[in-house]
């Protein structure tokens, strides 16, 4: 018993060093030299300052930008407090929120809103919207930026990322990248 | 004892009904945790019912009916056990009559007698029993020969011979000497005799739970606790959902879910299994032995008397060169007509069957029979001018030599060939001419190979034990269809074989009767002693076959298997039943508050009350409905385990899911048409 | 439900089949001390660990094995608790996070020691990098190794004949860690990084967003932890959003690999069972049972989540070339419905608990399946090790009932199943609902339980039920709307996790010890074979019946009622 306890303690400390320190440090060192861009968060720079991560969604308001999905992370797209709304399908607040947002969208566009635009993502940081969600916003953004909707539609279509290897996941549009391209093209 | 007890014999039935109530005693109920929970539930609802009645609460009619049916559930389970016991009790009473108190004539040390009561006899006493007297206790014949009527124990009316020395020396108290007299050394004290043990066994007084039964009880208790938890915690869930339930409904749900069907029938199954053995005239000393029988992997069978008839029979004629087979057959038949031995008779029969030679009137032919003697080792017949002899090759060769002739080479070869094949060659000579050889062969008992095939289908390997040489043994083994044989076996070899098999993890069964079988019988997992055998053999084995029929092991194995299968099948049935009960009770509990839950009311039961009551009634009635099955046991067919399981799963598993849906619906219709709720 | 969704499922299942069998054979080989190509590197490390720790690799009986397992778990639990409490004095804390509160630290230590990885906290604002690495990722390795060791000990009990011992605990966890977990992590982590999973020790990154806002990106040594989090079926996210967080699971490929990693070792262990017992057919039969339950669960979730919400207006919920439709609340666009459903099925079947979508926001029926998957006892592939020993308990019960039905004392691969074995199996089966139902019932009746609810009505009941089921099943996923960082939930859930782990492992080891000392009975024609389709069906049936009968009443008042009410137009 006493012997086993000593073994337990020594074994715990030893493996903690091996697996808790040596292993992650080795992987960190490898990542730092082999794939520094990804290891540090796939950051995007605009004019020399960090404009965000390619992988993390940002809050967009106003008509000039494509909007991401509603976010339940903090006050919206808070990357230190990721998470979903955790509303049940039977939660009256959820149904009211969706129906409210969808009614506004539908009133403006005359078409029903794509589901992803009115539902909060799991992480609250979803960088993507569906192609349907992007195309749904084309007219609004084009109007705000006084652009040709057709031209904007082509820009959106160029930003559709297909399924990985043709079958994994779903087609999607990265909102930050699209909006960056939008800013560049209208500059 | 061989007469079967009708399932619903009125005497037994009446006793069983009384027993159902006396068994309500919680001290007896503790042995059966599942039913104890039901009884506790019934007591609880009864108490609440009284409160209900005093306060004139609504719903009294429903609560009353629930309470009554809960009690019926307990009573039905008690009834099942009582009726199983009742059948044994009836048999015990018959045995007790045989026991009675008898007088015995005990030898004093000086050689004179004294008359004492059987109750005064102790181990080691020597008594004398004469024709017409009952034998006062179990013992061993030490002097004399007598015919004994053992029908009180075996049900077999033909008397049996008991004699000092050898393997037929054991006598049982309560049997009666019919002729002659015998001197018996008593081997058991009063209260410990075979008859006493037998009475205790059939009554189930000494019944202990068998290992598998204990394991199953643990499983059932575990399930009961799980359901107790599920139901007890359902109330908080219901309170959260603003749909609290009455205690009557919760107890109903609990009783329906816990495995009352198997719980109520479990002990009845065990008692009935022992009882079935008794009906086959086998006494098992413990339930453990019966269960072990179901598990037997290897069965040791003695050749002589078990696999083959005790005697050899003529199967073929081989004529010497230049002699027609008809002539040989004719001579052999003539020589055997007066031979009353089974071998002799078999020669007559064979000649008749093969060559249509009919028996002739020997006196008319002035024939003179020459009997077998130890000196000549031949028998035969002398007719005017001819003398025919038959005997072993050696004897006939000597006979021919005396006649100034000799055995032809071909005949000697045939003799050797037959011997090699395990047969007994019998040479026939007419005057100085050797006519040929009669092939006497061990005859495998009729129907035995089918029975052995049945064993193989059960997965049991049979091994034949014989003193014959390996060649002979192989021939018989092949013919009988045993899987293996042990040739030139000595008693110790048998013991070693058992130990070897057991070391491989196998369970071994054997039968035996002689004193030298006793160690092996004790070593074997299932040792069936023949009732005709010695006391030592009967003490060593864990079962006694009153009919002394060695192939009865097959029935014993089947009963052992049936016992387990019945428990397994009813457990499966009981658990499968719960699905339907959930679909009856859960929507009924909550549909009042949440009408949408009626979507789960797939049986379309009329009202919540009728749904719950129907489930409870079904749960109680199914126990009674399955009593015959529990007593009879589920059908056993020697099939592969896979096939058996498929069948039983289909019947008791799938059937167990479907039947209650139909049953509960039916009861619901009846309840509503009678306006019970 | 789309053709592409089906295709992804088929490719996933094919990959699982393809990889798990060889890995199973490797495990069977390596766990008994067999030589491998990794020996030149790992053998010296292994010896060093034994020497420094004072381990003599002698055989242990089940009591010694259980004793070592409990003492080690206690020591490692203490380590994590201390690290959490003292993290502000320890390095790698660039955000200067304070020490963790006592109840939360205890809950988290219990959670990671038991391979549950229930997270009552928001990691990015609670745990320093040092705590994540030494306190948490460390347990991801060793709690997994302990689970595998116990499973292997049980298998040894089955195959050994008249043996007093069931192996050496220290050797088993050391070899599992070094030869199995570590190499696989070193393979997986670089792929994850390449796809975008972060791996650094830098402070959080401040960003001025395009739309003139501020954003702080949480960072950390994520990939190294993510790899073992999935491979060890731990599931504790580096971030609050777990595997839905783009830094943990950035692409459909990483999602595919993470799902595969969840099932890889549990599935391989089933093949290792076949390999070690010399009955590959038995391994396949058990695999088939698990596969049936998994597929049924996945299809139900996939179908349920593809259904439109009945009460939404002006919303396009239909599947098209441009969107995956269905219920997207709490799901990520890159995964869509199919990869979210598959992940949810896998993570709850295995006691992983990582999530790439929020189970709380699933449709009532979809969410019910995730709950039922856990309620079945985490035996559909299950946690690493715990899945195997869990299903073996059900195998023992199935064999017992089947054995009776064919008229023999039940035997399993030559070992007779007797009352002690049934007792241990029933104890195992009993403890699980005991914790779940009793603690849920208490929570439902008390303000301290109800105060944490995010949703009311039947879904509130499900949230609490899910929490205790997840804890007792050592899953760790949550209906995350429940605010579980309270005294009541931290202590009661921690308690549930410890009981659900160790009080269930001890009967397993007792069973292993009891089986090991038995003789082995050779199979005969009368023995019920455990390598057939009939056996798979029976096993599946028994698992479903036991699970369903235990939890049907609770489920009928939770998700079933919620579904029916929702479709009748009721909201809460």
For chains B and C, CB pairs below 8 A equal 208
The pair of structure tokens assigned to C507 is 């009967």
**Residue of A17, A48, A87, A89 best to disrupt the C interface, most CBs of C under 10 A:** A89
Tokens 């490719």 sit at which residue?
C11
Give the range among B291-305, C290-304, C542-556 with minimum mean pLDDT: B291-305
> Is residue B547 over pLDDT 60?
yes
Instruction: Classify residue C376: in a domain, yes or no.
Output: no
Instruction: Classify residue C220: in a domain, yes or no.
Output: yes
Instruction: Classify residue C479: in a domain, yes or no.
Output: no
Tell me which residues of chain C, numbers 549 to 568, contact chain A at a CB-CB cutoff of 8 Å: 562, 565-566
A45 to chain C: closest CA residue: C207
pLDDT tens digits along A153-165:
999 999 999 999 9
> Is residue A82 over pLDDT 90?
yes
Residues B540-546 have a mean pLDDT of: 85
pLDDT level of residue C269 (50, 70, 90 thresholds): very high
pLDDT tens digits along C76-112:
999 999 999 999 999 999 999 999 999 999 999 999 9
B218 to chain C: closest CA residue: C423
Strands B126-130 and B103-107: antiparallel
Q: Which residues of B610-645 are buried (b: 16+ CB within 10 A; e: fewer)?
A: bbbbbbbbbbbbbbbebbebbbebbebebbbbbebb
Q: Are B497 and B519 in contact (CB under 8 A)?
A: no
Q: What distance in Å separates residue C516's CA from the closest CA in chain A? A: 23
C462 to chain B: closest CA residue: B237
Q: Which ranges of B120-210 would DSSP assign to H, the alpha helix?
A: 151-154, 194-203
> Would you call B596 and C423 a contact, using CB atoms and an 8 Å cutoff?
no
CA-based R_g, chain A, Å: 22
B372 is known to lie in a ligand binding site: yes
Neighbours of chain C (3+ CB pairs under 8 A): A, B
Q: Which ranges of C314-385 would DSSP assign to H, the alpha helix?
A: 336-349, 364-375
C550 to chain B: closest CA residue: B230
What percent of chain B lies above the pLDDT cut of 70? 95
pLDDT tens digits along C427-457:
999 999 999 999 999 999 999 999 989 888 9
CATH superfamily ID and name for B290-307+445-546:
HAD superfamily/HAD-like (3.40.50.1000)
pLDDT tens digits along C490-501:
999 999 999 999
Q: Are C444 and B236 in contact (CB under 8 A)?
A: yes
Q: Does C362 touch chain A (CB under 8 A)?
A: yes
- Please report the pLDDT score of residue B156 as a whole number: 65
Across the interface, of A12, A90, A167, the residue whose CB is closest to C75 is A12
C339 to chain A: closest CA residue: A169
Q: Are B230 and B254 in contact (CB under 8 A)?
A: no
| CATH architecture, domain defined by B315-438 | 3-Layer(aba) Sandwich (3.40)
The pair of structure tokens assigned to B41 is 């539930």
What percent of chain C lies above the pLDDT cut of 90? 92
The class level of CATH for B103-200 reads mainly beta
B373 is known to lie in a ligand binding site: yes
Strands A49-53 and A113-114: unpaired
Query: C385's torsion region: left (phi>0), alpha (psi -120 to 50) or beta?
Result: left
Q: Does the complex come out with an ipTM higher than 0.90?
A: yes
Give me the torsion for CA of B154, B156, B161, B164, rounded to 10°: 0
**Residue of A9, A51, A82 best to disrupt the C interface, most CBs of C under 10 A:** A82
> Is residue B652 over pLDDT 50?
yes
Contact list, C421 vs chain B (CB under 8 Å) = 215
Enclosing domain of residue C115: 22-278
Instruction: Classify residue C526: in a domain, yes or no.
Output: no
User: B326 vs B662, which has greater pLDDT?
Assistant: B662
pLDDT tens digits along B468-502:
778 778 888 888 888 999 888 887 888 899 999 88
Tell me which residues of chain B, numbers 574 to 633, contact chain C at a CB-CB cutoff of 8 Å: 575-576, 578-579, 582, 586, 590, 594, 596-597, 599-600
> Is residue C190 over pLDDT 70?
yes
Across the interface, of C406, C422, C442, the residue whose CB is closest to B645 is C406
Beta-carbon contacts of residue B393 (< 8 Å; ≥ 6 apart): B407, B412, B415, B425, B427
Q: What's the CA gap between B280 and B562, in Å, rounded?
A: 14
> Would you call C440 and B233 a contact, using CB atoms and an 8 Å cutoff?
yes
pLDDT level of residue B1 (50, 70, 90 thresholds): very low
The pair of structure tokens assigned to B573 is 């049935």
**Residue of B217, B218, B452 best to disrupt the C interface, most CBs of C under 10 A:** B218
Across the interface, of C133, C335, C455, the residue whose CB is closest to A21 is C133
Q: What's the CA gap between C20 and C286, in Å, rounded?
A: 14
Tokens 């049934």 sit at which residue?
C422
> Would you call C553 and B504 a contact, using CB atoms and an 8 Å cutoff?
no
For the four alpha carbons of C333, C334, C338 and C343, in that order, the dihedral sign comes to negative
Instruction: Classify residue C235: in a domain, yes or no.
Output: yes
pLDDT tens digits along B355-397:
777 766 666 777 788 887 777 778 888 888 888 888 888 888 8
B472 is known to lie in a ligand binding site: no
Q: Could you tell me the pTM of the whole model?
A: 0.89
> Would you call C557 and B652 a contact, using CB atoms and an 8 Å cutoff?
no
Tell me which residues of chain A, numbers 123 to 162, contact chain C at a CB-CB cutoff of 8 Å: 123-133, 135
> Is residue B536 over pLDDT 80?
no
> Is residue C480 over pLDDT 70?
yes
pLDDT tens digits along B4-39:
445 567 888 888 899 999 999 998 888 899 999 999
Q: Does B222 touch chain C (CB under 8 A)?
A: yes
> Is residue C56 over pLDDT 70?
yes
> Is residue C409 over pLDDT 50?
yes
pLDDT level of residue C401 (50, 70, 90 thresholds): very high
- Please report the pLDDT score of residue B2 as a whole number: 40
- Please report the pLDDT score of residue C564 as a whole number: 96
B375 is known to lie in a ligand binding site: yes
- Please report the pLDDT score of residue B100 as a whole number: 67
- Please report the pLDDT score of residue B136 as a whole number: 82
pLDDT tens digits along B97-156:
766 667 788 888 888 888 888 778 888 888 888 888 888 888 888 888 888 887 777 666
Q: Are B586 and B225 in contact (CB under 8 A)?
A: no
Domain total for chain C?
A: 1
Q: Give pairs for C479-482: CB < 8 Å, separation 24+.
A: C479/A86, C479/C359, C479/C360, C479/C367, C480/A83, C480/A84, C480/A86, C480/C355, C480/C358, C480/C359, C480/C360, C481/A86, C481/A87, C481/A88, C481/C360, C481/C453, C481/C454, C481/C455, C482/C360, C482/C452, C482/C453, C482/C454
For chains A and C, CB pairs below 8 A equal 410
- Please report the pLDDT score of residue C10 as a whole number: 97
**Residue A79 to residues A73, A82, A120, C120, C229: CA-CA distances in angstroms?**
7, 6, 15, 18, 21
Instruction: Classify residue C132: in a domain, yes or no.
Output: yes
Closest to B377 (Cα-Cα) out of B362, B398, B347: B398
- Please report the pLDDT score of residue B363 as a whole number: 64
Instruction: Classify residue C139: in a domain, yes or no.
Output: yes
Q: Which residues of B belong to the active site?
A: 302
Q: What distance in Å separates residue C113's CA from the closest CA in chain B? A: 27
pLDDT level of residue B635 (50, 70, 90 thresholds): confident
B590 to chain C: closest CA residue: C557
Strands B386-391 and B170-171: unpaired
Strand residue runs (E) in C401-489: 411-412, 415-416
> Would you call C445 and B239 a contact, using CB atoms and an 8 Å cutoff?
yes
Q: Look up residue B304 and give its DSSP letter.
A: B
Q: What's the CA gap between B88 and C303, in Å, rounded?
A: 59
Q: Look up residue C518 and give its DSSP letter.
A: S
Q: What distance in Å separates residue A149's CA from the closest CA in chain C? A: 18
Q: What distance in Å separates residue A14's CA from the closest CA in chain C? A: 7
Q: Are C362 and C330 in contact (CB under 8 A)?
A: yes
Tokens 């069906």 sit at which residue?
C537
- Please report the pLDDT score of residue A15 as a whole number: 95
- Please report the pLDDT score of residue A37 as a whole number: 95
Residues B251-264 have a mean pLDDT of: 95
Q: Are C497 and C139 in contact (CB under 8 A)?
A: no
Where do the structural domains in chain B lie, given as residue ranges? 10-91+201-280+557-674, 103-200, 290-307+445-546, 315-438
> Is residue C364 over pLDDT 90?
yes
Q: What distance in Å separates residue C483's CA from the closest CA in chain A? A: 11
Q: Strand order in B508-512's β-sheet?
A: B282-284, B543-545, B526-530, B508-512, B298-302, B461-465, B484-486
Q: What's the CA gap between C522 and B365, in Å, rounded?
A: 66
Q: Does C65 touch chain A (CB under 8 A)?
A: no
- Residues linked to residue B105 through DSSP beta bridges, in sequence order: B115, B128
What percent of chain C lies above the pLDDT cut of 70? 100
Contact list, C217 vs chain A (CB under 8 Å) = 41, 43, 52-53, 56, 79
Query: How big is chain B, counted in residues?
Result: 677
Q: What's the CA gap between B201 and B85, in Å, rounded?
A: 11
> Would you call C561 and B590 a contact, using CB atoms and an 8 Å cutoff?
yes
Residues B575-598 have a mean pLDDT of: 94
**Residue C512 to residues A54, B288, C151, C515: CA-CA distances in angstroms?**
52, 25, 9, 5
Give the range among A21-35, B351-365, C147-161, C165-179 with minimum mean pLDDT: B351-365
- Mean pLDDT of all residues in chain B? 86
- Please report the pLDDT score of residue B512 as a whole number: 80
Number of Cα atoms under 13 Å in the Cβ half of residue B546: 26
């Amino acid at each position: 018993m006493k012997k086993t306890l000593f073994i337990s303690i020594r074994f715990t400390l030893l493996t903690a060093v091996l697996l808790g320190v040596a292993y992650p440090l080795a992987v960190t060192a490898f990542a730092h030299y082999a794939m520094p861009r990804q290891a540090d968060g796939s950051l995007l720079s605009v004019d020399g300052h960090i404009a965000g991560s390619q992988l993390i969604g940002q809050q967009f308001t106003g008509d000039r930008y494509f909007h991401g999905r509603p976010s339940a992370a903090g006050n919206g797209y808070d990357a230190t407090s990721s998470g979903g709304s955790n509303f049940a399908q039977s939660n009256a607040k959820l149904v009211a929120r969706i129906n409210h947002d969808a009614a506004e969208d539908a009133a403006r566009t005359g078409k029903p809103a794509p589901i992803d635009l009115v539902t909060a993502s799991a992480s609250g940081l979803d960088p993507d919207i569906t192609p349907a969600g992007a195309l749904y916003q084309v007219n609004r953004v084009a109007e705000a930026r006084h652009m040709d909707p057709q031209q904007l539609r082509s820009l959106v279509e160029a930003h559709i990322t297909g399924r990985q290897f043709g079958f994994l996941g779903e087609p999607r549009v990265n909102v930050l990248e699209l909006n960056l391209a939008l800013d560049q093209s209208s500059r | 004892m061989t007469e079967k007890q009708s399932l619903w014999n009125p005497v037994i039935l009446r006793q069983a009904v009384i027993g159902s109530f006396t068994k309500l005693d919680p001290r007896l109920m503790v042995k059966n945790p599942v039913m104890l929970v039901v009884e506790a539930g019934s007591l609880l609802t009864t108490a609440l019912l009284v409160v209900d009645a005093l306060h004139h609460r609504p719903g009294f009619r429903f609560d009353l009916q629930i309470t009554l049916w809960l009690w019926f559930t307990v009573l039905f389970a008690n009834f099942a056990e009582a009726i199983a016991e009742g059948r044994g009790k009836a048999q015990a009473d018959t045995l007790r009559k045989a026991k009675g108190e008898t007088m015995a004539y005990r030898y004093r040390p000086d050689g004179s007698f004294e008359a004492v009561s059987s109750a005064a006899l102790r181990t080691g006493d020597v008594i004398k029993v004469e024709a017409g007297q009952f034998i006062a206790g179990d013992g061993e014949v030490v002097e004399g020969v007598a015919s004994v009527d053992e029908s009180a124990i075996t049900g077999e009316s033909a008397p049996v011979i008991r004699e000092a020395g050898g393997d037929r020396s054991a006598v049982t108290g309560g049997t009666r000497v019919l002729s002659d007299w015998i001197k018996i050394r008593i081997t058991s004290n009063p209260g410990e005799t075979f008859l006493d043990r037998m009475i205790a066994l059939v009554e189930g007084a000494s019944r202990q739970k068998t290992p598998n039964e204990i394991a199953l009880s643990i499983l059932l208790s575990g399930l009961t606790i799980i359901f107790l938890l599920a139901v007890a915690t359902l109330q908080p869930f219901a309170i959260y959902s603003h749909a609290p339930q009455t205690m009557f409904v919760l107890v109903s749900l609990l009783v329906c879910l816990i495995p009352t069907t198997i719980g109520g029938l479990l002990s009845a199954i065990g008692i009935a299994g022992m009882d079935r053995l008794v009906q086959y005239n086998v006494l098992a000393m413990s339930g453990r032995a019966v269960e072990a029988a179901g598990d037997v992997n290897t069965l040791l069978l003695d050749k002589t008397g078990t696999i083959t008839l005790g005697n050899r029979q003529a199967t073929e004629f081989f004529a010497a060169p230049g002699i027609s087979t008809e002539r040989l057959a004719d001579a052999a038949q003539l020589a055997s007509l007066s031979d009353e031995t089974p071998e002799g008779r078999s020669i007559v029969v064979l000649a008749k069957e093969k060559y249509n030679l009919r028996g002739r009137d020997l006196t008319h032919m002035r024939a003179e029979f020459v009997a077998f003697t130890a000196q000549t080792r031949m028998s035969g017949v002398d007719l005017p001018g001819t003398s025919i002899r038959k005997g072993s090759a050696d004897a006939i060769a000597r006979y021919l030599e005396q006649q100034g002739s000799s055995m032809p080479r071909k005949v000697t070869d045939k003799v050797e060939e037959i011997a090699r094949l395990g047969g007994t060659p019998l040479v026939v000579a007419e005057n100085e001419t050797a006519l040929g050889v009669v092939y006497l062969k061990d005859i495998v008992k009729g129907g035995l190979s089918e029975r052995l095939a049945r064993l193989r289908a059960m997965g049991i390997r049979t091994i034949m034990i014989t003193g014959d040489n390996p060649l002979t043994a192989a021939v018989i083994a092949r013919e009988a269809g045993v899987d293996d044989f042990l040739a030139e076996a000595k008693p110790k070899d048998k013991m070693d074989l058992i130990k070897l098999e057991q070391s491989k993890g196998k369970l071994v069964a054997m039968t035996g009767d002689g004193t030298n079988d006793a160690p092996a019988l004790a070593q074997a997992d299932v040792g069936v002693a023949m009732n005709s055998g010695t006391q030592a053999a009967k003490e060593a084995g864990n079962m006694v076959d009153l009919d002394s029929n060695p192939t009865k092991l097959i029935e014993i194995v089947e009963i052992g298997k049936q016992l387990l299968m019945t428990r397994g099948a009813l457990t499966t049935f009981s658990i499968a039943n719960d699905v339907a009960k959930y679909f009856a009770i859960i929507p009924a509990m909550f549909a009042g508050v949440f009408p949408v839950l009626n979507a789960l009311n797939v049986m379309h039961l009329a009202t919540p009350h009728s749904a719950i009551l129907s489930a409870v009634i079904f749960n109680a009635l199914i126990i009674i409905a399955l009593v015959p099955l529990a007593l009879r046991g589920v059908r056993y067919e020697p099939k592969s385990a896979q096939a058996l399981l498929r069948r039983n799963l289909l019947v008791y598993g799938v059937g167990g899911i479907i039947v209650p849906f139909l049953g509960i619906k039916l009861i619901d219709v009846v309840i509503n048409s009678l306006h019970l709720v | 439900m789309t053709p592409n969704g089906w295709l992804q499922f088929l490719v996933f299942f094919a990959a699982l089949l393809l990889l798990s069998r060889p890995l199973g054979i490797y495990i069977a080989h390596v766990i008994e001390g067999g030589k491998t190509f990794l020996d030149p590197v790992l053998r010296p490390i292994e010896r060093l660990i034994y020497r420094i720790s004072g381990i003599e690799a002698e055989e242990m009986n089940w009591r010694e094995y259980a004793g070592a397992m409990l003492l080690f778990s206690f020591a490692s639990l203490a380590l994590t608790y201390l690290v959490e409490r003292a993290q502000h004095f320890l390095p790698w804390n660039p955000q200067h996070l304070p020490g963790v509160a006592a109840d939360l630290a205890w809950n988290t230590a219990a959670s990671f020691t038991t391979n549950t990885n229930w997270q009552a906290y928001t990691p990015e604002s609670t745990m320093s990098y040092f705590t994540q690495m030494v306190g948490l990722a460390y347990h991801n390795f060793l709690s997994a190794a302990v689970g595998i060791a116990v499973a292997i000990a049980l298998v040894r009990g089955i195959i050994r004949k008249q043996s007093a011992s069931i192996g050496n605990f220290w050797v088993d966890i050391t070899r599992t860690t070094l030869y199995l977990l570590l190499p696989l992590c070193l393979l997986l982590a670089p792929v994850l990084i390449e796809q975008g999973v972060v791996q650094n020790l830098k402070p959080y990154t401040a960003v001025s967003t395009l739309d003139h806002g501020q954003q702080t990106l949480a960072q950390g040594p994520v990939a190294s932890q993510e790899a073992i989090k999935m491979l060890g079926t731990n599931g504790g996210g580096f971030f609050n959003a777990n595997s839905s967080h783009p830094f943990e699971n950035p692409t459909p490929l990483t999602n595919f690999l993470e799902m595969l990693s969840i099932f890889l070792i549990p599935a391989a262990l089933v093949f290792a069972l076949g390999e070690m017992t010399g009955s590959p057919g038995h391994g396949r039969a058990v695999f088939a049972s698990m596969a049936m339950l998994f597929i049924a669960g996945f299809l139900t979730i996939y179908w349920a989540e593809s259904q439109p919400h009945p009460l939404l207006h002006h919303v396009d919920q239909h599947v098209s070339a441009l969107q995956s439709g269905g219920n997207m609340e709490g799901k990520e666009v890159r995964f869509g419905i199919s990869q979210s459903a598959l992940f949810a099925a896998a993570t709850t079947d295995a006691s992983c608990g990582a999530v790439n979508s929020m189970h709380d926001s699933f449709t009532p029926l979809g969410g019910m399946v995730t709950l039922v998957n856990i309620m079945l006892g985490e035996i559909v592939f299950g946690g690493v090790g715990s899945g195997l020993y869990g299903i073996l308990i059900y195998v023992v019960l199935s064999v017992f009932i089947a054995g009776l039905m064919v008229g023999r004392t039940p035997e399993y691969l030559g070992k007779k199943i007797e009352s002690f074995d049934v007792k241990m199996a029933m104890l195992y089966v009993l403890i699980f609902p005991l914790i779940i139902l009793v603690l849920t019932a208490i929570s439902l009746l008390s303000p301290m339980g109800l105060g944490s609810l995010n949703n009311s009505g039947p879904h509130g009941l499900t949230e609490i039920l899910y929490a205790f089921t997840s804890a007792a099943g050592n899953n760790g996923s949550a209906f995350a709307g429940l605010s579980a960082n309270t005294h009541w939930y931290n202590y009661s859930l921690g308690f549930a996790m410890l009981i659900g782990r160790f009080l269930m492992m001890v009967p397993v080891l007792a069973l292993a010890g009891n089986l090991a000392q038995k003789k082995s009975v050779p199979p005969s024609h009368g023995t019920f074979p455990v390598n057939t389709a009939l056996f798979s069906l029976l096993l599946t049936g028994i698992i479903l019946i036991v699970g369903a009968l235990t939890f049907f009443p609770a489920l009928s008042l939770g998700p079933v009622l919620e579904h029916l009410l929702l479709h009748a137009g009721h909201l809460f």
